[in-house]
Amino acid sequence: MLLEARAAPARIVASARRRYGPVKNQRLKHPQAMRIIETRGAPNPRRVRIFLAEKGISVAFEEVDLMAGVLRTPEYTALNPMQRVPILILDDGTVICESVAICRYFEELEPYPALFGEGAVGRAKVEMWNRRVEFGLFAAVAAVFRHLHPKMSHLEVPQVAAWGEANKAKVAEMLALLDAVLADRPFIAGPDYSIADITALVAVDFMKPARLDMSAGLDNVARWHKEVSARPSAAA
């Protein structure tokens, strides 16, 4: 989803920019006003950080505490009505929300390595698998966390425990599918590392705070996870 700051009332946007003002220069390759607002422990900002690390792109990050309700303030809502992190603010004030949209923006600026695939077939396969992983695994793990973890009760209103429990089976089903797929390929979408692997890595790692265990016998997923976790970008 692409939003522009001028779409909100100027008074609110001005307040938001005062609140989320310039941050410390982190050796930017892009204009200093460009920055990403994130909560570091959240899974979606991590997707963006890994993506940027794979590209070798440095951007300033500004931390906000989503657990403290910052995302629901009028100032933050003026930047992102969905009240989620991360958001990318460009030097001209344009606001880009949604982690994959942010990654696509940087893919356009720095096409290589091609994390969204190359050629018509390659891009289609990466898109296919990233969507499968995002909807089938990433969203399911998030649902378990948001609807069953007691610390999320003030943010996920109402928490629906039955929905959290139902998604545990969805996680197991998707991991079994990925294990079969990874039997004859190194990465999820094919021979090359892609955003589909980033989405899956973050989802699998987020199973720990969601209190989900990996099923036994997923040897191919285990091999893949060990290899992608060893990439320097995984620590971003």
First to last CA, the chain: 24
Confidence of residue 33 (pLDDT cuts 50, 70, 90): confident
User: Each residue of 48-76: b (16+ CB within 10 Å) or e?
Assistant: bbbbbbbbeeebbbbebebeeebbeeebb
Give start-end residues of each CATH 1.20.1050.10 domain in the chain.
119-235
- The number of residues making up the chain comes to 236
Structure confidence at residue 145 (pLDDT) = 96
Please give the backbone phi and psi of residue 8, each rounded to the nearest 5 degrees, phi first.
-95, 160
C-beta of residue 60 within 8 angstroms of C-beta of residue 38: no
Structure confidence at residue 19 (pLDDT) = 47
Structure confidence at residue 156 (pLDDT) = 85
Q: The pTM is what?
A: 0.85
Distance, CA of 73 to CA of 70 (rounded, Å): 6
126: amino acid identity, one letter: V
Q: Which residues contact 169 (CB under 8 A, 6 or more apart)?
A: none
SS3 annotation, 179-230: HHHCCCCCECCECCCCHHHHHHHHHHHCCCCCCCCCCCCCHHHHHHHHHHHC
Question: Domain spanning 2-109 has what CATH number?
Answer: 3.40.30.10
Give start-end residues of each CATH 3.40.30.10 domain in the chain.
2-109
Structure confidence at residue 16 (pLDDT) = 42
For the segment 106-136, what is each residue's pLDDT rounded down to a tens digit? 999 999 999 999 999 999 999 999 999 999 9
Structure confidence at residue 172 (pLDDT) = 97
Please give the backbone phi and psi of residue 120, each rounded to the nearest 5 degrees, phi first.
-60, -45
Percent of the chain with pLDDT over 90: 81
Q: 119-235 sits in which CATH class?
A: mainly alpha
Please give the DSSP secondary-structure letter assigned to residue 95. E
Distance, CA of 108 to CA of 100 (rounded, Å): 12
For the segment 151-199, what is each residue's pLDDT rounded down to a tens digit? 998 888 899 999 999 999 999 999 999 999 999 999 999 999 999 999 9
For the segment 219-230, what is each residue's pLDDT rounded down to a tens digit? 999 999 999 999
Structure confidence at residue 191 (pLDDT) = 97
